[in-house]
Amino acid sequence: MKHLLLFILLTQTALAQDVVYLDKGQAAPQAGYLFAPRKEKEVRLKLEELDYCDKSKELLRTLNGEYKNKDNLLEQRLDLRNKEIDNLSKQVAEQNNNKFLLNFGFFSLGIAVTTAVVYGVSRALGK
């Protein structure tokens, strides 16, 4: 992409004579392009801008990957939390069933003890 942009930039500027192609022997020791200082600065800045864009794109890819990892971790934590909630709900339901039987047993025992005390007191008083 850099080369394409550089080519477009060079072809557009050749019309304005900011960039001129020189052949060997044409007041130059070798063939190549001669840039006007203003045009050279413009091309250099474009290349630096492209480098910056490439680095920014790579940084965004890295950040996107990190965010996806973080998202996956959060989903795993939510799944674990939901499983733990389900397990605790089952345990509470089982304990409620056991408590009902336990409470019924203690209530029956209380009735029996109270009946025995009332019977014992009434016999002691002779009634």
Q: pTM value?
A: 0.43
Contact present, 10 and 33 (Cβ < 8 Å): yes
- Has residue 123 been placed in a domain? no
- Kindly tell me if the per-residue pLDDT of 66 is higher than 80: yes
Contact present, 25 and 19 (Cβ < 8 Å): no
**pLDDT tens digits, one per residue of 26-54:** 666 667 777 778 888 888 899 999 999 99
Instruction: Select the highest-mean-pLDDT range: 15-24, 38-47, 60-69.
Output: 60-69
| Alpha carbon distances (Å) from 1 to 7, 44, 54, 90, 100 | 10, 15, 11, 61, 76
- Has residue 31 been placed in a domain? yes
- Has residue 33 been placed in a domain? yes
Work out how many domains the chain is built from and give that number: 1
Structural domain boundaries enclosing 72: 2-116
Between 66 and 38, residue with greater pLDDT: 66
Residue 74 CA to residue 127 CA, distance in Å, equals 75
- Has residue 125 been placed in a domain? no
DSSP secondary structure code for residue 34 in this structure: E
- Has residue 126 been placed in a domain? no
Report the run of H or E that residue 93 belongs to, with start and end: helix 37-125
DSSP string, 10-22: HHHHHTTTSEEEE
